[in-house]
């Protein structure tokens, strides 16, 4: 049986996770979520992978959110458990130590957009559409959308998008800083890989600590955030990569980081 989540190291240090249910718009079935969690386990402990890309199979959908056809046959307890599974899986994407780039090759609705919001950066095809559409279905975003979207684009605009369940284009998403970049469909993976390559050339331990400092610091007051930054910085003081960076600077060459 073909796995519903595929992983490939497409270049040295750059891993690509692909949601592989194109016939169902890459919707989050229980099996896909199970496969994704197994993949995340492996990626999180793989020190050779410095940057992670996440995309969907095909060119129509990144992820259409929860598998509502599957959910229709669930009882109330099963629905609660599935919603928790989606939320915990999205949280695990955010918790990956490596920087993560969502490569939005098509629609990203509901839980699909929530998955993208848990990534560090988002690049979208010019044909992509996205939205937190849950209130049109009698529910609310349940995998972090009500929390991550306001932190990313501001309270008022987030409320507008959630309350209206509006579906927006990639260009509209770029205008409100929901995504970082829009490119033509045929150039999407190439551009995402270029960005990943630009990140991956840097010290991997520094990337990890920078992500910790940013993600943890944004949740607290400035004084506490500065302390978090100090602690993250101190983790790097006695690493081989820090010394390599200094020597490479002095020798006017590109550093060769090894993640130690």
Beta-strand pair 14-19/5-11: antiparallel
Q: Which of 134, 160, 198, 240 is catalytic?
A: 134
Catalytic residue among 9, 114, 172, 181: 114
d(CA 19, CA 25): 9
C-alpha of 215 from chain center? 13
230: annotated active-site residue? no
Q: Is 134 a catalytic residue?
A: yes
**E-state strands within 50-161:** 51-56, 61-63, 100-104, 107-109, 121-125, 129-131
Burial class (CB in 10 A: 0-12, 13-18, 19+), 238: exposed
Question: What is the set of active-site residues?
Answer: 114, 134
């Amino acid at each position: 049986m073909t796995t519903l989540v595929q992983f490939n190291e497409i270049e040295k240090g750059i891993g690509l996770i692909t949601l592989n249910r194109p016939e169902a718009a890459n919707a989050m079935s229980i099996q896909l979520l199970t496969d994704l969690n197994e993949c995340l386990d492996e990626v999180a402990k793989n020190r050779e992978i410095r940057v992670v890309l996440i995309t969907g199979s095909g060119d129509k959908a990144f992820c259409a959110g929860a598998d509502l056809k599957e959910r229709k046959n669930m009882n109330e307890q099963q629905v609660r458990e599935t919603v928790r599974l989606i939320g915990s899986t999205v949280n695990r994407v955010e918790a990956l130590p490596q920087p993560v780039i969502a490569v939005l090759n098509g629609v990203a609705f509901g839980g699909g957009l929530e998955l993208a919001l848990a990534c560090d950066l988002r690049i979208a095809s010019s044909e992509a559409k996205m939205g937190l559409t849950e209130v049109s279905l009698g529910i609310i975003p349940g995998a972090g959308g009500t929390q991550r979207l306001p932190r990313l684009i501001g309270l008022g605009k987030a409320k507008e998008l959630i309350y209206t369940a509006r579906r927006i284009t990639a260009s509209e998403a770029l205008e409100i800083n929901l995504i970082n970049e829009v490119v033509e469909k045929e150039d999407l993976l190439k551009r995402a890989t270029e960005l990943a390559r630009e990140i991956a050339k840097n010290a991997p331990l520094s990337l990890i600590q920078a992500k910790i400092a940013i993600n943890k610091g944004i949740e607290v007051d400035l004084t506490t955030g500065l302390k978090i930054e100090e602690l993250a910085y101190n983790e790097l003081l006695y690493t081989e990569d820090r010394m390599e960076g200094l020597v490479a600077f002095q020798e006017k060459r590109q550093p060769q980081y090894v993640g130690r």
